[in-house]
Amino acid sequence: MIRVERITRRYGPTLAVDGLSFHVERGEIVGFLGPNGAGKSTTMRMLTGYLAADEGRAEVAGTDVALDPVAVRRRVGYLPESNPLYLDMTVQRFLEFAASVRGVERGKRKAAVDRAAQAAGLRAVIGKGISELSKGYRQRVGLAQALVHDPDLLILDEPTAGLDPNQIPEIRDLLLRLGQEKKTVLLSTHILQEVPAVCSRVIIVAKGRKVADGRLGELLRRDGTVRAAVAGIDAGVAEAALAALPGVSVRSKTTHDGRHRFELSGPPGDDLCERIGAALIERGGRICELVREAESLEECFRRFTLGEGAAAGGVR
């Protein structure tokens, strides 16, 4: 659905996007993440034909964007970062206008507007002037205009920006519904908590370059913390057994109701929990809990965007 090959964009001396390549297949919901100024919005503007690439090429919905940007815009729903709206129009009028610009036939426009307004939670304000709306509702109008022509591909630049915490789950549900309808979505966001629930894959960019690309399960490092609880064994014996394991260190220990809880850190490798469990059982312990926590998406984001470990995999 999206094929980006080494696109580059400069603003004067600033290299905003630097030889970026990635693919998005039909039906994927991909989180496009990166620090402020990483080049996300610039990339999205190039994908939707609002900005020309200096180098490289982008094919969106089967069309080379540079050759036919108008055709691309009809196939794609785009919520720009700046979310430009006609403030003197009502929501209804604006969405009808958006439908006509995107080529929805006159006889089908009313139904298209109703459907988009419903999906974006705008039914209650459909007759209001856009200038009267709060920032969060304006953001919904931006989303509705992206949906109005029922495109197969949505490119959404921070769709949850300006929404209050109660509204964010509604947008998450909307994105999940789009996924069920087999739509393809590329969305940028700084609200990382929402990403695992919605995105099947993430692409992380920094300084205009791709630094990570993969499913979250692949990107999140699993050499973080192990929590173990054991009973039926002396605490000192258990600790000595754990500390003797190569590469394992005991970060903390507590005892409650005869259970000794340990927080451990250990080296990468899938067998870490197995080794910890085996060592405790060998000393006569009963395992009550044994879990390995993957790093959080926030930690993963920091690792890739601040450099540490950025070269150690993830880019494909």
Site of interaction with ligand ATP (CB under 6 A): 11, 14, 16, 34, 36-42, 81
Binding at 37: pick from Mg ion, ligand ATP, none (beta carbon under 5-8 Å per type): ligand ATP
Q: Which does 305 bind (CB under 5 to 8 A by kind): ligand ATP, Mg ion, none?
A: none
Q: How far is the CB of 160 from ligand ATP (least distance, A)?
A: 13
Q: How far is the CB of 42 from ligand ATP (least distance, A)?
A: 3
Which tokens hold the place of 170? Answer: 């509604």
Number of C-beta neighbours around residue 221 at 10 A? 15
Nearest distance from C-beta of residue 192 to ligand ATP, angstroms: 13
42 touches, from ligand ATP, Mg ion, none (C-beta below 5 to 8 Å by class): ligand ATP
Strands of the sheet with 55-60, listed across from one edge: 14-24, 2-11, 55-60, 63-64
Residues 14-43 that bind Mg ion (CB under 5 A): 40-41
Nearer to ligand ATP, 36 or 166 (CB): 36
Instruction: Give me the least distance between CB of 47 and ligand ATP, in Å please.
Output: 12
Cα separation, 148 vs 169, whole angstroms: 21
Radius of gyration from C-alpha coordinates of the chain = 25
48 binds Mg ion (CB under 5 A): no
Q: Are strands 29-33 and 201-206 parallel, antiparallel or unpaired?
A: parallel
From Mg ion, ligand ATP, none, interface partner of 145 (C-beta below 5 to 8 A by class): none
Binding-site residue total for Mg ion (CB under 5 A)? 3
Give every CB contact of residue 265 below 8 A, 6+ residues apart in sequence. 223, 224, 225, 226, 248, 249, 251
Smallest distance, Mg ion to C-beta of residue 148, A: 23
- Which CB atom, from 37 or from 268, has the smaller least distance to ligand ATP? 37
Q: Give the residue nearest to Mg ion (CB).
A: 41
Residue 236 binding: pick among ligand ATP, Mg ion, none (C-beta 5-8 Å cut-off by kind)? none
Least distance between ligand ATP and beta carbon 12 (Å): 7
Shortest spacing between CB 316 and ligand ATP, in angstroms: 21
Phi, psi angle pair for 307, to nearest 5°: 105, -40
CB 84 within 8 A of CB 139: no
Closest by CA to 135, choosing from 91, 83, 96, 99, is 83
Of the pair 37, 169, the CB lying nearest ligand ATP is at 37
- Binding test (CB under 5 A) with Mg ion, winner from 18, 28, 64, 81: 81
* Distance from C-alpha of 302 to C-alpha of 41, rounded to nearest angstrom: 20
| Interacting residue ranges for Mg ion, rule: CB under 5 A | 40-41, 81
